[in-house]
Amino acid sequence: MDEIRMHIHDFQVEGPEFQQLTNNAKVIYNSKTHTFAYKPEFDIQTSAELLEYLRQMPDQGGLEVKKLNDSYLADKLTKVVSELRESKQVLAITDKDNRARYLFYNNWPNEDNAIDQEMKTSWMRMQVPDENELAEEMKRAGLKPTQIEKGEEEKVEVKKPKRAQRKT
């Protein structure tokens, strides 16, 4: 984290700087100590607070990890996330480098989420038809393929407006 400096400045309570800072959504003013503090989007400072926040948002989907870069947890975020993942308290959607991108609270941390053998064998028995057969089966089922073959695509000619010729 960059070097943090404390600047002592005697703000006039009615001064324009004081008013701008107190009206700023990203600044918290403590009237007892007469100090200002940065207000992150997520006021999460510990792994326990992160876990509790994730637990309270089950229907809202996961939390994007890069949004936590703004929080006070940012300097130790990768360590905290990896510890929570190892202890199976959170589930993560990762990128190709196995870095967490989204976090979800794990409602069943002690259960083994392994897929049973019967499901695996039935999955392996399924055969996907080749592209031509798949398109025909989709048409029979009343579904449209997502891509149209170039041969089937109707070409529509678009007339371009004629350009005016210059008279010299």
Two tokens, residue 115? 């897929």
Q: What is the pLDDT of residue 1?
A: 38
CB proximity list for 12: less than 8 A, separation 6 or greater: 18
Per residue in 140-160, pLDDT (tens digit) is 888 877 765 555 555 667 777
Mean pLDDT confidence for 116-138: 86
- Give the global pTM: 0.53
Identify which of 66, 15, 14 has the alpha carbon closest to the alpha carbon of residue 40.
66
Domain with CATH 1.10.10 in the chain: 43-141
Question: How high is the pLDDT of residue 147?
Answer: 60
Question: CA torsion sign, 121 to 125 to 131 to 133?
Answer: negative
Q: Which fold has domain 43-141?
A: Arc Repressor Mutant, subunit A (1.10.10)
State pLDDT tens for residues 28-43: 888 888 788 888 888 8
